[in-house]
Structure 1
C-alpha cells in the first residue's frame, strides 16, 4: 500500500490496528452505526482485497451472510482495502438502521470469536514464515463463511505427479481434519497443536512412501485395458482389467507393499475362467517380488503372450464391453460406478450380473438359501444354480 492510503485508513478507522509494516494484516474494530465490530483482516495481495481473509464477530457475520453477493463482487473486483472498509462501514450502518443487526451479543460468543481470531492469526503468520510457504496456501472454508479458513497442501513428486491435501479446522481447540487422495490403508492423522509445517511434512512423508505403488498402478493403467475404476484416483488400490473375451481380472494391491503378489480374482463364467485359473496355479511360484514389472509378471502367470490393451477407438472400446452389461438392470455401470462381477456358470448362458442386482433378485425368492457369506439360488436368465455375496 502507498503511504497516503495507509494514513487514510488510520484516520478513517483509528481502532483498526495494522499488525505489520506492510499494512497487510489488521486486527481491531470497525465503528459503524454507533457500534464497535471486532474484525481481523489479512491481505495476500495488498492493497487489493482479492483473496482476502476476513473474520468478524458472529452477529456481524450473520448479517454479512445475507450480503454475500455484494461482498464477493467487491473482492473479485479487486478494490483497495480502504474502499472496502468504507463500503463495509456504510453497509453495516444501513443494516443497523433497518434493524438487521442485533444490539447486543453474549460475552461467550465474543470470547469464542477472539479465541478463533487469535488461532487463525497465529496460523497465518506461521504459514507465511514457513519454509513451505510456496507449498501451503490459505483459502476460504468450503462454506464460504467469513470466520472459516482451511489449508491447501501441494506436492509434486519426482515423477511430476501433483498431489494435494485439504486441512479443515472445526475449532481452535480440536484436532484438524486432513483430507487427501490417498489409499485407505495409509493413515494420515494430525494431532492438536501441530504446526502447518509439521502437518505438511506428514503429508509429504505419506506421498513419498507411496511412490512405488503409484508407479505400479500407472504401469497397469498405461499397458492394460482397465475397466474399473472408470476414472482411477490416486486412492484406488484395485484394478479390474480385461484378459480375454468375456473374462476379466480383479487385482487388489497392497499400497504399503506393492511388489507383493496382489490378490487376484477372476470374473467370468467357469468355462472362460478355468484356463486362466489353471495357468495361475501352475505358475504361481514364479512370481518375483523384486524389481519385476507387474504387467510382465501377470502375462507370464496367465500363460499369455501379452495382456489386451485398451482400444484406441473409444467407440470400439465401449462396444466391446457393452456385452458385459447386467442382465437384470440392463446397465453396464451402477450409480456408484460398479461393473457386473457375477456370471452364470452355465456355458450356454454365461450372462453377467451386478452383485447388488443379483442379491436383490435372489432375496425375493423363498427357494434361495444362505451359506456362510453367499446367497444361493437360480439364475434369472436360465434357472441354473448361481450365487452372489451377501451384501449388508
Structure 2
C-alpha cells in the first residue's frame, strides 16, 4: 500500500502548510499562530471536535470512525521551534529573527494534519482518533503541561503514537527502538559566589573562575568513577559565564549543562554526586555554590507489542524491506516520554533526504517525507481500531 489516497491528493497542500509553518516559527508556549493554523485546518477537514488553549497553545481534535467502538487511539505532534538563527537560504526560511524550525516540528505538525484530513474524510475505523498538537517540546515541559491540565482525563486514549523526522539520507525508511528508546534528561545550573579582586592581587580574591574550572574537570569523573560501565550516562557542561574585564577577578561564575540517562537509579547517582561535588568545592574554597538541578525529560519507553504494530502500519506504506525494529537507543531526549508514562504507545523515526543534523542552523527537511509520515500515522489508527474486537478479547 503506497501513500494513502486522500493524503496523496493533498501533497501540494501539505507542502504549503509546512513551508508556511517553517517561515513563521514560534518558541514553546508562544505557538499562537501555529495553533490557529492547526485549529482552522482541523475544522476545515470536518474534525468532530476541536479544543484549543490546552497548556496555553496546545490543540486536540477528536475524529469519530464509522463504527460505534469506544476505543481511542492518540496521535501526537509537537509544534515549537528553537532559538537559532536560520542559515539555509531557503525561499521559505524563517521570517523571525533568532527563531528556526531546526528540529522539524513544522513537519510533524503538518504530518498530523495530513493524517487528520485522511481520517476525517474516510472514517474507516471503529472508535475515535485523538489528534494531539503539543506545545513546548524543546525542554520547556509542554507534555507535562498538557498532562497537568488533564489531557488524558479529558481525552482518554488506549494507546498513543508519536513520530520524528530523521535526516539520515535514507528517504522512505522507518525505524524504531523497543524498550528504552531515548534518554531521560536533567538540566543543571550552578552559581559560584566567590570574591572579586584586582587581577594583580588575586590573593584578595576567592576566584570563582578557578573553582568553576576545577568543578568542570571533576564533573567528568562522575560517570567514569560512579556509574557502572554497562550503564549509559552522558554528563555535559554546556555553558560557562564569568568576568567582565582583563584586570578583574570576578565575583561570580556560572555553569550549566545536562545529564542524560536510561535508568532512574543512574540519574540518582549522577545527581547525588553533583550535589556532593558542589558542596565539597564550596567548603574547600570558602565560597557559596548554588545548584539548581531539575528533571526535564523522562526516559522514553516504547511498548514492545505496540512497536511491532507501529512497524506493521509503516510497512503498509513504505514496504517491509524499509522498516527496522532494531534501532539503537538515542541519547537525545523527547518529552513524548511523559505521555508514554501515562498511556502505552510507541515513537518511531522516519528517514528523509539530507544529512545535516537536527538543531543545526543549516538543517533542511525534505518535504517529500510529509505524505509518508502522515500516511503512517493514519494507518496505525485504521489498523488498531479495526482490530478493536480482537484487542479487547
TM-score between both structures, scaled by the size of structure 2: 0.23
- Point out the structure with max Rg over C-alpha: 1
TM-score between both structures, scaled by the size of structure 1: 0.23
**Which is bigger in relative contact order (C-alpha 8 A, separation at least 6)?**
2
